[in-house]
Amino acid sequence: MIWLTWRQHRKQALFTLGALVALAAVMVPTGLAMHAKYDSLGLPACRAALGSASMITQTEAVARCESLGHQFEQQFSGLTFVAVLFVVLPVLVGVFFGAPLVAREVEQGTHRLVWTQGVSRLHWALVKFGLLGAITVVLAIGYALGVSWWFQPLVTATSGRLAYVAFDVQGLVPVAYTLFALALGVFAGTYWRKMLPAMGIALVGFAVVRVAIEVLARPRYLAARTLSFPPGGQTPNPAAGDWVLENGVRNAAGELVLPGAQIGPCPAGGCGNTGAGPGAYNWLRYQPGDRFWTFQGIETGIFVLLTAALVFFAFRRLRTIA
CA distance 200 to 198: 5
Tens-digit pLDDT profile for residues 36-93: 999 998 888 888 888 878 888 877 778 888 888 888 888 887 777 777 888 888 998 8
Q: Is 172 helix (H, G, I), strand (E, B) or coil?
A: coil
Identity of the amino acid at 53: A
Q: What is the pLDDT of residue 287?
A: 95
- pLDDT the model gives residue 69: 86
Handedness of CA 32, 289, 58, 255 (dihedral sign): positive
Give pLDDT, residue 220: 95
pLDDT for 311 equals: 92
> Which pTM was predicted?
0.86
214-249 pLDDT, tens per residue?
999 999 999 999 998 888 777 888 888 899 999 999
- Rounded to whole angstroms, the Cα distance separating 185 from 101 reads 8
Instruction: Give the residue-averaged pLDDT of 5-31.
Output: 76
173-191 and 99-108 helices, crossing angle to 10°: 20
Q: Is 19 helix (H, G, I), strand (E, B) or coil?
A: helix
Q: For the chain, give the mean pLDDT.
A: 84
pLDDT of res. 7: 60
Q: What count of Cα atoms within 13 Å lies in the side-chain half-sphere of residue 231?
A: 23
Q: Distance between CA 139 and CA 40 in Å, rounded?
A: 32
The pLDDT value given to residue 168: 94
Taken as a whole, the chain contains a residue count of: 322
Choice between 273 and 27, residue whose per-residue pLDDT is larger: 27
pLDDT tens digits, one per residue of 266-318: 655 555 556 667 788 899 999 999 999 999 999 999 999 999 999 999 888 88
Residue 190 has pLDDT above 70, yes or no: yes
Q: Which of 127, 147, 90, 142 is nearest to 306 (CA)?
A: 90
